[in-house]
Amino acid sequence: MQNNHKFHALINGELVSGTQQMPVINPSNEEILTYCPQATPEDVERAIGAARKAWPAWRDAPMEQRRQTLHAIADCIEENAEELQRWITLEQGKPLAGAAVETSQAPAILRYFAEMDLSPRTLQDDERQRAELHRRPLGVVAAIVPWNFPLVMACYKLGPALIAGNTCLIKPSPTTPLATLRLGEMIADLVPPGVVNILPDGGDVGPLLTGHAGINKVSFTGSTATGRAVMRSAADSLQRLTLELGGNDAAIVLDDVDVDAVAPQLFALAFVNSGQVCMSIKRLYIQSGIYDRMCDALAEQARDAKLGEGLDPETQYGPVQNRQQFEAVQKLLEQAPQHGRVIAGGNTYGPGYFVEPTLIRDIEEGNPLVDEEIFGPVRSLLRFDDIDEAIARANNSPYGLGGSVWTQDLTLGKQIACRLESGSAWVNQHFAMAPHIPFGGHKQSGIGVEFAEAGLHEYTAIQSVVIAK
């Protein structure tokens, strides 16, 4: 495969080379990787029109046809996994092993939703009336995707949208459109024209979709700030929304844990994807009895971590994905010595947007390093004595995506987990996602859930059908 592949958008079943092109940067060297089409407002209108036109036939198609289409898309990803992994690594920066997680989870989620049941439920059936609960598709879904997991997050939305009978527009992030565009090229002949459209943009198309009366639902994953803007613009046409937003997950580590065994797990779950995961561990609350030992063990992990270009098989951690994010992390790093003691990392280097895995100890709340979501490889190690105090501090955040408790006492662990104000609460693990387990945010981490039956239902409207006898 060559970097000079010519990319196309997918609009109304046609592969469109586009009237405008935009560069895509490789975050490992800051060079232009390639160019791809940049959707214009006219392209957006054409895609929405095509999705609207395709909707009635797709909505009324037999469930079996929709199932087969999802399995065919999943087959396509599996058959082309190696190529897709390479594009993900080149555009996103993550190591090939991380890209392989995307190309294995994407078909798994599509196949999971392909087998979901949406048949009506009987609510009442007696001499007076028969009442049934039906789930109807909503119409046209806009799937707006961030840059940290470009391919798999598009599929999180595509699977439930299509199986429920909606048509779909996927808008990748402006900095990571390539794997999604390749997927569009591969599936163009597998789906009826207009059912799936893919619109790469320079950052201007999101607001066109969220304010558009032709879009019935927006499934958005991204930052909390953008989520608010999406919600505001959805008001006019009362678009249905699923918002998967930012997180500042706490891990509460009790002093009965085996430090040597747990430190590598905590490190991996904090720094996975170079810290650019909504649901990674961001704040580590460590009980006093093991605080020093745990800080040392985590710092050793950080020093051993191999940073580099994602195509190098030795690389464990890639760069931060884009310049804007890199500069935001650099700014936070500058403040670190004022608020705590940097015990590993602390430096950035280039070319490429590389940030050493950084750990800050003896730090408390009340500064952006702890209070704000850091979307990069910088983590705070906070000391606590009392469990109630740790829970209160973990919950004292506008975010509520995930949280975890680490202890050998599973009963106590569960009790603490149940007191966390978060959509997911784990014991002795973190970021443990599976298609049959819903995930979503409490508080300002989001509205609605993805995955599982509850996630599928977000792409439907209830219709009560009541027949008098």
Could you give the residue numbers annotated as active site?
Answer: 244, 278
**Residue 145 makes contact with ligand NAD by CB under 6 A:** yes
Answer yes or no: are the C-beta atoms of 94 and 273 closer than 8 Å.
yes
Q: Single out the residue of 105, 148, 166, 274 in contact with ligand NAD (rule: CB under 6 A).
A: 148
Take residue 217 and report the two structure tokens written for it. Answer: 């639902």
**Residue 423 makes contact with ligand NAD by CB under 6 A:** no
**Residue 173 makes contact with ligand NAD by CB under 6 A:** yes
Cα 26 off chain centre by: 20
Which CB sits closer to ligand NAD, 91 or 244? 244
End-to-end CA, the chain: 65
**Residue 289 makes contact with ligand NAD by CB under 6 A:** no
**Distance (Å, rounded) from C-alpha 362 to C-alpha 373?**
19
* Shortest distance (Å) from residue 273 CB to ligand NAD: 10
Residues 187/190/191/193 CA torsion (nearest 10 deg)? 90
**Residue 180 makes contact with ligand NAD by CB under 6 A:** no
Please work out, in degrees rounded to the nearest 5, the angle formed at the alpha carbon of residue 140 by the alpha carbons of 138 and 143: 110
Q: Single out the residue of 107, 150, 174, 376 in contact with ligand NAD (rule: CB under 6 A).
A: 174
121-125 and 129-137 beta bridge pairing: antiparallel
**Distance (Å, rounded) from C-alpha 179 to C-alpha 159?**
17
Query: Using CB under 6 A, which residues numbered 357 to 376 contact ligand NAD?
Result: 373, 375
Query: Using CB under 6 A, which residues numbered 382 to 411 contact ligand NAD?
Result: 401
What is the side-by-side order of every strand in the sheet holding 460-468? 121-125, 129-137, 460-468
**Residue 242 makes contact with ligand NAD by CB under 6 A:** no
Stretch that binds ligand NAD, among 106-114, 132-140, 170-178, 300-308 (CB under 6 A): 170-178
**Residue 206 makes contact with ligand NAD by CB under 6 A:** yes
Stretch that binds ligand NAD, among 62-70, 203-211, 305-313, 351-359 (CB under 6 A): 203-211
Nearest Cα neighbor of 158 from 222, 217, 84 is 217
**Residue 197 makes contact with ligand NAD by CB under 6 A:** no
Tokens 């209108």 -> residue? 45
**Residue 230 makes contact with ligand NAD by CB under 6 A:** yes
**Residue 246 makes contact with ligand NAD by CB under 6 A:** yes
Which CB sits closer to ligand NAD, 248 or 316? 248
Peptide bond into 23 cis (omega under 30): no
Which CB sits closer to ligand NAD, 148 or 216? 148
**Residue 280 makes contact with ligand NAD by CB under 6 A:** no
**Residue 210 makes contact with ligand NAD by CB under 6 A:** yes
**Distance (Å, rounded) from C-alpha 299 to C-alpha 297?**
5
Nearest Cα neighbor of 219 from 16, 440, 66, 399 is 440
**Distance (Å, rounded) from C-alpha 427 to C-alpha 434?**
16
Query: Using CB under 6 A, which residues numbered 301 to 330 contact ligand NAD?
Result: none
* Shortest distance (Å) from residue 450 CB to ligand NAD: 7
Answer yes or no: are the C-beta atoms of 432 and 281 closer than 8 Å.
no
- Which residues here bind ligand NAD, judged by CB under 6 A? 144-148, 171, 173-174, 203, 206-207, 210, 221-223, 226, 229-230, 244-247, 278, 373, 375, 401, 441, 446
